[in-house]
Amino acid sequence: MRKSAITPNVISEAHSVTICSAQQLNQQTAAFFRKGIEGSTNTRIAYSADIKKVQAWLRQQGIDDLPISPATLATYLSDQASEHKWSTIIRGLAAIRKWHRLHKHPDPSADETVRLVLEGIKRSIGTEPTQAPAFDIQEYKEQIRPIPPTPTGMRDRALLLVGFAGAFRRSELVALDIEGVQFTRHGAILSFQGSKTNQYGRTEQKAIFYSPDPDTCPVRSLQDYINVLERSSGPLFVRIRKGEQVTTDRLSDKQVARAVKMYLGEAYSAHSLRASFVTIAKLNGADDSQIMQQTKHRTRTMIDRYTRVQQIVKHNAAMKLGL
């Protein structure tokens, strides 16, 4: 039986394939490593902005670019403390740490000087985050009723009602798609991905229900608005140009914040929709597990924080002193 010869060309080609496969695997590993260290899309956007800010500050100090030394980092953090809250400072520091890890430089924040400066900043400005104010439900309904039935008005009414009834973050609201809305006999199921607490793309769902008052019913307002869009897929909440021209451009989260202030008042923020859901539901007797089903919170800590101020006023023995 004649044996087939293995030519040098075949060996060379096999060797090349092995090298190519190894290179591809190394590239894939590096890509996974980078994605793991960078985090979610929203985190990358926020960290990118923070890195640009520190790079601009370094140039003002006559320093070309990162990496940053511990002494310079301590000075930068001190400068930031004169203008920003603790949460902003810590987020910026996290971005600096990630940049150094990604570029294989020592972490400057591990230095004792930086740690002591951070402790001094914490003691000076405090760490308590500013709470988004919660509105009164009657006040809220009174502000919703006069919204005109124009395309813009119908969009904003649906935005405010769905945002409140669904306890949505503004980033989740603007990420909703029409095909993610399923109307049922009781209301609607809204499916979405990529929330703040779900960074791996798992589909989550929230339910909203019909209310007796058509002017403040989140489900009816959503149905009316979708009818205006005249399509069955794509972004749900979109930009509307002058002359009430409906586009297919997804609304930005900043526009959600503007809508809240326009209709509910300057005192409120987009997060007030979510904070108000927790506060009002809690004070009306909803238990924490029911609230967490909608908000997707993993712990009760944030629920307690949202409802603390209202409980101090409405559940206080000082009201029963007979003065």
In the set 53, 169, 210, 258, the catalytic residue is 169
Q: What pLDDT sits at residue 150? A: 96
Name the CATH superfamily housing domain 40-125: Tyrosine recombinase, N-terminal domain (1.10.150.130)
Q: Please give the average per-residue pLDDT across 283-287, as a whole number.
A: 81
CA distance 135 to 274: 10
Bridge partners of residue 246, in order along the sequence: 240
pTM of the model as a whole: 0.65
| 186 included as an active-site residue | no
Q: Give me the half-sphere count of Cα atoms (radius 13 Å) on the Cβ side of residue 130.
A: 12
Higher-pLDDT residue of 128 and 113 is 113
Residue 188 burial class via C-beta count within 10 angstroms: exposed 0-12, middle 13-18, buried 19 and up: buried
Bridge partners of residue 250, in order along the sequence: 238
CATH 1.10.150.130 domain extents, the chain: 40-125
CB 275 within 8 A of CB 168: no
CB 68 within 8 A of CB 108: yes
Percent of the chain residues topping a pLDDT of 70:
77
Q: What pLDDT sits at residue 141? A: 94
Q: What pLDDT sits at residue 280? A: 86
CA distance 284 to 134: 14
CATH 1.10.443.10 domain extents, the chain: 137-315
Q: Which of 34-38, 145-149, 153-157, 226-230 has the lowest mean pLDDT?
A: 34-38
- Backbone φ and ψ of 204, nearest 5°: -120, 160
Tell me which long-range contacts 92-96 makes (C-beta under 8 A, separation of at least 24): 92/50, 92/53, 92/54, 93/118, 94/47, 94/50, 95/46, 95/47, 95/48, 95/50, 95/51, 95/54, 96/50, 96/51, 96/54, 96/66, 96/68
Q: What pLDDT sits at residue 29? A: 73
Bridge partners of residue 190, in order along the sequence: 181, 206
Cα Rg of the chain, angstroms: 26
Tell me which long-range contacts 261-267 makes (C-beta under 8 A, separation of at least 24): 262/156, 263/143, 263/144, 263/147, 263/156, 263/160, 264/135, 264/140, 264/143, 264/160, 265/143, 267/133
Residue 252 burial class via C-beta count within 10 angstroms: exposed 0-12, middle 13-18, buried 19 and up: middle
Q: What pLDDT sits at residue 219? A: 96
CA dihedral angle for residue 318, residue 131, residue 272, residue 212, rounded to 10 degrees:
-30
Name the CATH superfamily housing domain 137-315: Intergrase catalytic core (1.10.443.10)
Using DSSP's 3-state secondary structure scheme, residue 237 falls into coil
Q: What pLDDT sits at residue 197? A: 52
pLDDT band for 48, please (50, 70, 90 cuts): confident
Could you tell me the two tokens for 238?
């979109």
Q: Which of 18-22, 54-58, 94-98, 133-137 has the lowest mean pLDDT?
A: 18-22
Distance from the Cα of residue 69 to its chain's centroid = 31
Q: Please give the average per-residue pLDDT across 169-180, as a whole number.
A: 93
Predicted confidence (pLDDT) at residue 217 exceeds the cutoff of 80: yes
pLDDT band for 294, please (50, 70, 90 cuts): confident
End-to-end CA, the chain = 112
Peptide bond into 129 cis (omega under 30): no
| 306 included as an active-site residue | yes
| 271 included as an active-site residue | yes
pLDDT band for 222, please (50, 70, 90 cuts): very high
Q: Please give the average per-residue pLDDT across 73-84, as a whole number.
A: 91
In the set 155, 206, 220, 297, the catalytic residue is 297
Q: Please give the average per-residue pLDDT across 281-291, as a whole number.
A: 81
In the set 98, 155, 206, 274, the catalytic residue is 274
Residue 276 burial class via C-beta count within 10 angstroms: exposed 0-12, middle 13-18, buried 19 and up: buried
Q: What pLDDT sits at residue 194? A: 59
| 104 included as an active-site residue | no
pLDDT band for 286, please (50, 70, 90 cuts): confident
Residue 182, number of CB atoms within 10 A of its CB: 12
Predicted confidence (pLDDT) at residue 289 exceeds the cutoff of 90: no
In the set 15, 196, 231, 315, the catalytic residue is 196
The position carrying tokens 């496969």 is 21
Higher-pLDDT residue of 32 and 269 is 269
Amino acid making up residue 156: D
Average pLDDT along the chain? 83
